[in-house]
Amino acid sequence: MLKLYDTLSREKVALRTPEPGQPITLYVCGPTVYGRAHIGNARPAVVFDTLYRLLRHLHGPENVRYARNITDIDDKIMAKAVEENRPPAAVAAEFEAHYFADMAALGCLKPDFNPRATEHVEGPHGMIAMIEALVARGFAYAADGHVLFEVARFDGYGALSKRPMDEMIAGARVEVAPYKRAPGDFVLWKPSRPDQPGWDSPWGRGRPGWHIECSAMIRSVLETDTIDIHGGGLDLQFPHHENERAQSCCAHDGTELARIWMHNGFLTMGETKMSKSLGNIITPADLLEAGWPGEVIRLALLSAHYRQPLSWTDALLEQSRAKLDRLYRRKAEGEAGAADPAPALLDDLNTPEALAALPDGAAVLGLLQQAPDDWFRGDADAAAIEADLALYRAARAAKDWAAADAIRDRLAADGIAISVAKDGQTSWRRA
């Protein structure tokens, strides 16, 4: 039985077994597409991809529905569009494509749904309809072209974060505005200038606030008021997930948005949380361009338990590459792992323990998916190396040991190791 730590109850909770017509539903907050994702953004993608793989392994793909959204309407997207003199939609499309490519390079399966915010503003389960319901029920109010959720109207507000309101507001740098009844009230709808994207609504032409997006998309694409698992980074616990929970409960007659809330820990550079605002970021694209295989990056991201902080260092990458080298050698030799990794994952996705069981069952972790020969050859120029290997063979056949040694040493300097079998057959691999 799979048990996962629920942030709301602060305990491990057993996930239900899917029934006919009632698949397991998983929703993870995805990127705001105004720039390349950094490695901290990649952590939830890899963590919840592993959970998705586990759920499919346990129940079959037909019994799991995974949605990860794309926020493609946002002030940061619009600011970048103005800076680069192009439409916001073009900015969003460019970085959405980069995000999909970067996450695929880290071995992430494509979710069943990738809803875009702009596709769910209107419609029977869209954002405008949900905001109208909140206003009609007295949980939201219109003011100065905005619509705001009135936090004081929801008694359960703060249960997810379990911190005093003033502390939460101070930590999240909540915007202070004269049209708010209370500082913690949050925007559901905001006005748009003529030069900004916007939709017609009962409150004038405007666009949605950030928090309402996920509540509406969850209801629209997963077709339920209560999903099984809602995931994201720890930084989303407040205000984003706290606000999602409040508005969804109030729009759906008190029904909880999620049975289990999961949050992965921060990724740090040294002692500091990785952040675009701090400028201390490394992107998957940077790492891939520097020659780190996507599988190494994935293993590094799974090396710590998902709820724990993860310190990102070159040493972590080196250790992950060395571990994969060992595992691929064991795979090539047909050696089985210590055990099936899936049982370890049943205990709140315990990836460190699961990694100890490899190479058996590696697919559930998204690892060891290549043939060993392909892994050890990596992205080396195979044609050029084979040409050098032919010269090496010829030198050995002529007993020109000095020439053979020179070829071997030159390849070794480029990170290529030559092996000679007992029968004289030669082969190469990345050292």
Could you tell me if 168 and 309 lie in one domain? no
Could you tell me if 88 and 191 lie in one domain? yes
Could you tell me if 392 and 368 lie in one domain? no
Of 338, 341, 377, residue with least CA distance to 361: 341
Could you tell me if 98 and 142 lie in one domain? yes
For residue 277, pLDDT over 80 is answered with: no
Average pLDDT score, the chain: 91
Could you tell me if 367 and 246 lie in one domain? no
Please write the tens of the pLDDT for every residue from 361-394: 899 999 999 998 888 877 666 666 777 777 778 7
Could you tell me if 323 and 260 lie in one domain? no
Domain boundary among 264, 280, 301: 264
Could you tell me if 16 and 148 lie in one domain? yes
Domain boundary among 335, 361, 376: 376
Handedness of CA 236, 238, 242, 247 (dihedral sign): negative
The number of domains in the chain is: 3
Instruction: Give the span between the Cα atoms of 249 and 157, in whole angstroms.
Output: 10
Please write the tens of the pLDDT for every residue from 228-268: 999 999 999 999 999 999 999 999 999 999 999 999 999 99
Of 130, 129, 158, residue with least CA distance to 251: 130
Please write the tens of the pLDDT for every residue from 175-231: 778 999 999 999 999 999 999 999 999 999 999 999 999 999 999 999 999 999 999
Could you tell me if 42 and 167 lie in one domain? yes
Domain that holds residue 16: 3-264
Greatest mean pLDDT among 133-142, 272-281, 329-338: 133-142
Domain boundary among 264, 297, 318: 264
Mean pLDDT of 103-107: 97
Could you tell me if 341 and 236 lie in one domain? no
Q: How confident is the model at residue 118 (pLDDT cuts 50, 70, 90)?
A: very high
Ranges of H-type helices in 85-164? 88-105, 127-136
Number of other CB atoms surrounding residue 398 within 10 Å:
10
Whether cis (ω within 30° of 0) applies to the bond prior to 239 is yes
Please write the tens of the pLDDT for every residue from 25-78: 999 999 999 999 999 999 999 999 999 999 999 999 999 999 999 999 999 999
Query: Does the pTM of the predicted model rise above 0.85?
Result: yes
Could you tell me if 369 and 278 lie in one domain? yes
Could you tell me if 124 and 254 lie in one domain? yes
Look at residue 172 in the predicted model and tell me its pLDDT. Answer: 65
Could you tell me if 301 and 251 lie in one domain? no
Look at residue 402 in the predicted model and tell me its pLDDT. Answer: 82
**Helix H or strand E segment including 261:** strand 258-264
